Amino acid sequence: MSTKKEIIFSGIQPSGNLHLGNYLGAIQQWVDMQKRLSPEDTLIFCIVDLHAITVYQDPKILRQKIREVAAMYLACGIDPKNAHIFVQSENPDHTYLSWVLDCVVPYGQMLRMTQFKDKSQKQQEGTTVGLFNYPALMAADILLYDTTTVPVGEDQKQHIELTRDVAEKFNSMYGETFVLPKDQIDTSAARIMSLQNPLSKMSKSDADPFGSIYLLDEPDEMIKKLKRAVTDSGSAVSSENLSPALTNLISIFGKVTNRSFEQVLKTCEGLSYGAFKTQLGEAVVAKFEPIQKKYRALLEESGELDRILDQGCAAVSVYSSAKIQVVKERVGLGR
Ligand code: AQP
């Protein structure tokens, strides 16, 4: 086991309803890391609302979603005794550092970001400079806290590579300032795919409601969506013929029941697709029913959520404001 101090940072955008991909690719890793935490380590989980507005959000809904995402972190098992939980826009150090990094990161490298290419194609004329600059803000989120590890899904890998590059460049221009972070990707849930299109990732902005299982879907809705999930031309689970759609469903089954892909495959070999999907639906519901119960209780408990978010912000601001002072001195900003 590593004895080096770890600083772990990650976040989710309050830009829609959290889905199984967000949970398995990100939150479940966070909860596991929390279990293995040593007293010297620091865990920071952010609700990245400034990232969310890179695409238009209805202001009233955004406010609501910020609280919902915070409550969902807690309901899924993030314990504020172990982790700082806060809202990104409430700590202005993030935007300050983001601008400084904008002035360091090469334009050509930003142009190569595949997420920007995908999202700008969807947004067309609505594409904003904020959407383009997203990776610099994400680099700021991470570098402000001397983060060593960023647990994320695979889609964020390129942004973390850019974060390392920008940190390295800043350090060589202005002197040693930033720690170079590494990503942590759970290979068994790196990219949970849409239930309707196994070649496209499960995503908050998917227009097809049957593509994603949302963490707050009613149990019968979860079961219905899984029953309608596309498979392939076969009729029974077979290790001889694993299509991308079936591979995705088996991965989900494994993750929600704490089993490996191979264990699930062995148990389900020969099951008809119908029977397999019924078992999978029951497992997904069993996993999320208790989380949903906790979530509802947290939202009703007025004051507690705000107290946790205020405390989280105050704690992380101590780290980030010290880092901003160093950055100002290194760059020569102010008097
Ligand atoms: N399908 C996925 N499989 C595994 N991990 C995923 N993540 C997202 N989708 C999957 C991980 O969830 C974390 C938070 O994501 P985010 O909210 O910051 O942004 P995103 O990746 O753009 O998420 P969405 O849900 O797909 O939103 P839209 O529709 O706006 O693009 C990250 O760690 C991410 O890797």
Ligand 1 in reach of 53 Cβ (< 6 A): no
What average pLDDT does the segment 101-124 reach?
94
Closest C-alpha to 26, from 160, 180, 163, 162: 160
Whether 27 and 150 map to the same domain: the answer is yes
Ligand 1 in reach of 195 Cβ (< 6 A): no
What ligand 1 atom has the least distance to the C-alpha of 154?
A: 35
Q: Is 151 left (phi over 0), alpha (psi -120 to 50) or beta?
A: beta
Whether 58 and 165 map to the same domain: the answer is yes
Query: What pLDDT does residue 284 have?
Result: 98
Domain-embedded: residue 213: no
Whether 270 and 317 map to the same domain: the answer is no
CA of residue 204 to ligand 1 center, whole Å: 7
SS in 3 state form for the chain? CCCCCCEEEEEECCCCCCEHHHHHHHHHHHHHHHHCCCCCCEEEEEECHHHHCCCCCCHHHHHHHHHHHHHHHHHCCCCCCCEEEEEHHHCCHHHHHHHHHHCCCCHHHHHCCHHHHHHHHHHHHHCCHHHHHHHHHHHHHHHCCCCCEEECCHHHHHHHHHHHHHHHHHHHHHCCCCCCCEEECCHHHCCCECCCCCCCECCCCCCCCCCCCECCCCHHHHHHHHHHCCCCCCCECCCCCCCHHHHHHHHHHHHHCCCCHHHHHHHHCCCEHHHHHHHHHHHHHHHHHHHHHHHHHHHHCCCHHHHHHHHHHHHHHHHHHHHHHHHHHHHCCCC
How far apart, in whole angstroms, are the C-alpha atoms of residue 70 and residue 80?
11
Question: Residue length, the chain?
Answer: 335
Asked if residue 295 has pLDDT above 60, the reply is yes
Domain-embedded: residue 267: yes
Interval 259-287: pLDDT, tens? 999 999 999 999 999 999 999 999 999 99
Phi and psi of 144, rounded to 5°?
-55, -30
Residue having the nearest C-alpha atom to atom 21 of ligand 1 = 155
What ligand 1 atom has the least distance to the C-alpha of 190?
A: 4
Expressed in angstroms, the distance from the first to the final Cα of the chain is 45
Whether 167 and 71 map to the same domain: the answer is yes
Active-site option among 65, 204, 225, 277: 204
Domain-embedded: residue 197: no
Interval 235-245: pLDDT, tens? 999 999 899 99
Domain-embedded: residue 206: no
Which of 10-24, 53-67, 112-126, 276-290 shows the lowest mean pLDDT across its residues?
Answer: 112-126
Residue having the nearest C-alpha atom to atom 33 of ligand 1 = 152
Whether 233 and 325 map to the same domain: the answer is no
**Domains contained in the chain, number:** 2
Query: What pLDDT does residue 3 have?
Result: 56
- Residue 60, domain CATH: 3.40.50.620
Domain-embedded: residue 39: yes
Whether 132 and 227 map to the same domain: the answer is no
Whether 133 and 262 map to the same domain: the answer is no
Query: What pLDDT does residue 204 have?
Result: 92
How far apart, in whole angstroms, are the C-alpha atoms of residue 217 and residue 160?
31
Query: What pLDDT does residue 1 have?
Result: 45
> Given pLDDT bands bounded at 50, 70 and 90, which one contains residue 205?
confident
How far apart, in whole angstroms, are the C-alpha atoms of residue 277 and residue 237?
10
Whether 266 and 321 map to the same domain: the answer is no
Partner residues linked to 19 by β-bridges: 214
CA of residue 38 to ligand 1 center, whole Å: 28
Closest C-alpha to 244, from 258, 255, 234: 234
Distances in Å between the Cα of 288 and the Cα atoms of 88, 118, 147, 157, 191 are 27, 31, 30, 27, 20
Query: What pLDDT does residue 326 have?
Result: 98
What average pLDDT does the segment 54-77 reach?
97
Residue 246: give the domain boundaries. 219-296
Domain-embedded: residue 204: no
Ligand 1 in reach of 201 Cβ (< 6 A): yes
Query: Is residue 44 a contact partner of residue 83, using CB atoms and an 8 Å limit?
Result: yes
Domain-embedded: residue 198: no
Whether 223 and 289 map to the same domain: the answer is yes
Whether 56 and 127 map to the same domain: the answer is yes
How far apart, in whole angstroms, are the C-alpha atoms of residue 248 and residue 251?
5
Active-site option among 201, 255, 277, 323: 201
Whether 70 and 161 map to the same domain: the answer is yes
Domain-embedded: residue 207: no
CA of residue 23 to ligand 1 center, whole Å: 9
Ligand 1 in reach of 21 Cβ (< 6 A): yes
Q: Does the active-site annotation cover 204?
A: yes
Ligand 1 in reach of 188 Cβ (< 6 A): no
Whether 135 and 69 map to the same domain: the answer is yes
How far apart, in whole angstroms, are the C-alpha atoms of residue 156 and residue 13?
13
What average pLDDT does the segment 165-190 reach?
96
267 CB-side CA count, 13 A: 13
Q: Does the active-site annotation cover 35?
A: no
